[in-house]
Structure 1
Amino acid sequence: MSETRAADKDAVVKLGFKDGDLIQEFGYDDDVDFDLRDDLEDCIGSEILDEDDQEVVDGILLWWREEDGDLVDGLMDVLSSLDEGGVVWLLTPKAGRDGYVAPGEVQEAAPLAGLHVTTTEAASKDWAATRLVMKQSK
C-alpha cells in the first residue's frame, strides 16, 4: 500500500464513521479526493449518498471551496438531512491549493449556522477536514 493510500485510510479512521453509517455528500466535483471517498465507502459498507437523496443521515461530507459562495448558507443548506447527534465534516482545500478557505472563515461561519467547530484533521494531501456538530440547546 502506498504512503498516500495508507494516509487516506488513517483519515477515514479519524472521521469516526463506522459500518452501517449513512453519509451524504455535498459539493462533489472532479477535484474531490477519490481515494478518501472509496476508503470511506469501504468503511461504511455502502455508497455515499448524493445531494438529491432524502434520507436522514449520520454524517455529512461538505466539499467547500472559496469560490463556492457564502459558507454560512452552504452549511445551513446541508443540515436538513442530518440526524440529531450527527456530524458535518467540512472538507476544504489546504493552504496553497486552489479554493483555499481560511480557518478563520470556518470559525466565523459555523456558529452562524448553528454549529460548533470541534477538530480539524488532514483528510488527504490536498484537503483539510473540519468536524462540526450541532450546538447543544440549553
Structure 2
Amino acid sequence: MKKKQLNGIDSIEIENRDFDVLTKHLCDENEALNKLKVELEDKQNVQTTLENINAEIEALKFAKSQYERRIGTLKKEKEAFEKEKLEKIREKRTQDIFKGVGGSDRTVRHNNRYYRPHEECTEFPKNNYTCHYIAAVREAVHFVLEK
C-alpha cells in the first residue's frame, strides 16, 4: 500500500507541478495579451491623431485656396484700378496739354459726334473739315507715356 500512496503523492505532485506550469503559462499569455491590447490602443490613438491632423490639413488647404482666390481677385481689381488711374492721368495730361497749346473748352456737335476744336480752328465744322486736334494730343500723350 505504501507504493500506492507514493504513486498517489507523486501524481499529486506532478499534477501540482503541471498546474503551476500551466498557471504560469496562462499568466504569461495573459500578460502578453494585455501588452498587445495596450499596443493596439496606442496604435488606435495614433491613427485617430493622424486622422485629426489630416482633417486639419484639408481644412487649411480649403482656407488656403479661398485666400488664393481672393488674392487673385484683388490682383485683378488692382490691375483694373491702376489701368483706370493711368487712363485718368492720361486724360488729365491730354486736357492740360490741349489747353496749353491752344485747345478750347467749347464742344461742337458735328455728324452726331462731339468735337473739341482748337481755338484758332476756323474751318471746323465748315467745308466738311473735322478738327482732330484733341485726338492728336491724346495720341501724343499715349505715345509719350508708353515710352
Q: Normalised by the shorter chain, which TM-score bucket?
A: under 0.3
Greater length-normalized contact order (CA 8 Å, ≥ 6 residues apart): 1
Q: Which has the larger radius of gyration?
A: 2
Question: TM-score normalized by structure 1?
Answer: 0.21
Name the structure with the higher strand share: 1
Question: TM-score normalized by structure 2?
Answer: 0.20
